[in-house]
Structure 1
């Protein structure tokens, strides 16, 4: 079940990251999910290092870090994906 939640969280994080980025990102949904999952994992590591991974209530800082990392990953991968030949 953890695998399913990772996919759902990756989708949500990836879609939010794509929404905050300007312009169009020519990447498929599976790559958005993958980058969202990776961004979520890296965001959790950063939040743990800052000591804000687990707080009382909703973990706003952790989730913001996850989305920001995913947005950076998407902004790095999208141009390369758009230039590739089919």
Structure 2
């Protein structure tokens, strides 16, 4: 049952982080598919956590913490890094897939 919950939570986190990343990405990025938004969110959550951990490490009052547990309370700054990385990935995904803004399409 643990693997199923890991997959479900990973997809939910990817969904939320991906849409937050899409919301803060510059320009209109609503034209990438849902599955790609979730992939950007999952990758953004992982890479953002990893980068935050590399830069700041674990808080001194949280011995034994790891990449996903850098402080004793909610890691708001780590989550901000996750959303930022997801926003960059959304921009990259929109660029790589060649999808343009709907307003820029010919009628």
Q: Same fold (TM over 0.5)?
A: yes
Count of residue correspondences: 83
TM-score (norm 2): 0.71
Deviation of the 1:77 alpha carbon = 1.4
Whole-Å separation in 1 of the counterparts to 2:39 and 2:25: 17
- TM (normalized to structure 1)? 0.87
Structure 2 residue runs without a partner (length 5+):
59-68, 101-107
Relative to its length, the structure with more helix (as a share) is 1
Supply the RMSD in Å over aligned alpha carbons.
1.4
CA distance in 2, matches of 1:40, 1:18: 13
Specify the alignment match of 2:71 in structure 1.
Answer: 55
1:14 aligns with 2:18: yes
Judge which range, 28-37 or 50-59, deviates more. Answer: 50-59
Q: Which has the larger radius of gyration?
A: 2
| 1:80 Cα deviation after fit | 2.4
**Aligned to 2:83, what secondary structure does the other structure show?**
helix
Mapped pair 1:27 → 2:32: yes
